[in-house]
Amino acid sequence: MASKQFQNQLCVYCGKEHSIPTGDHVFARQFFLEEHRSHFPKVPACLDCNNAKAKDETYLTAVLPFGGRHSVARKNLTLMVPKRLAKNQRLKRELADGITISQAGIPTMLPIEIQRVTRLFEMITRALLWHHWNVRLPDQYAIECALLSSVGELLYEKLFEMNSNNFVDISLGNGTFSYCGAQGAGDPNFSIWRYEIYGGLQLTGDPDFPEEVARYVGAISGTHELLRDQGLMSN
Ligand SMILES: [Zn+2]
């Protein structure tokens, strides 16, 4: 049975500890409406990594539907978010302070703790590298993740046009999450990813670009050197 499929495998996130038998859902099930929750990718993950990831997922499953344009986000907002916020009063107050409401009464701008988004998508990228192409990133590689500014979107378009070894273009839960990824032709550890959540979020909160509204999250895996030379490392 699938419930013990990851027994004795190494965690894809830290690469050091053994996985819990059931592994980890790459995209947390709470992001999806109940009718869409099946056949999602799972990876081996240890208890510590699982718990760390779950903290960011809990925050983001409550917050992200506010910025979504997809009907799933709207439904999620009505059906599931109120329950989550009832359990988390601090978050509820933060959101009430930060959200901009459009004339139609729809929340449009979402200030968000960006590092929780990038930290989660770094883990998701690590998981998808393993899930699709059986890649575990060696130590000299890192993943850089960011909300894409309009300039960033163009840069990613260019990168996706380069020669690649493998390419995936996936939509999960009727478009709740969609992503594409390309693996470098010369180096299987080099990859580029672009994520869209709830039909394109409108996220703000990047301290470097306070006026920008982002639709995609981008991620690149490469050597520390390459990420630094390309100016892709944030520090
Ligand atoms: Zn781990």
- Would 235 be classed as within a structural domain? no
Give the residue from 47, 76, 108 where a domain finishes.
108
Residues 82 and 138 in one domain: no
Please state the three-class secondary structure of 107-134 as a single string. Answer: EEEEECCHHHHHHHHHHHHHHHHHHHHC
Q: pLDDT-based confidence at 209, cuts 50/70/90? A: low
pTM, entire model: 0.84
For 121-166, write each residue's pLDDT tens digit: 999 999 999 999 999 999 999 999 988 888 888 989 988 988 888 9
Distance 219 CA to ligand 1 centre (A): 20
Residues 129 and 85 in one domain: no
Residues 51 and 126 in one domain: no
Distance 229 CA to ligand 1 centre (A): 29
Per-residue pLDDT, 235: 37
Distance 66 CA to ligand 1 centre (A): 30
Residues 57 and 10 in one domain: yes
Distance 179 CA to ligand 1 centre (A): 24
Identify the residue with better confidence: 69 or 103: 69
Cα 106 to Cα 143, 195, 219: the distances in Å are 34, 23, 29
- Domains of the chain: total: 2
Distance 49 CA to ligand 1 centre (A): 4
- Its domain, for residue 161, covers 114-229
Residues 118 and 225 in one domain: yes
Distance 205 CA to ligand 1 centre (A): 29
Distance 222 CA to ligand 1 centre (A): 20
For 43-76, write each residue's pLDDT tens digit: 999 999 999 999 999 888 887 777 666 777 777 7
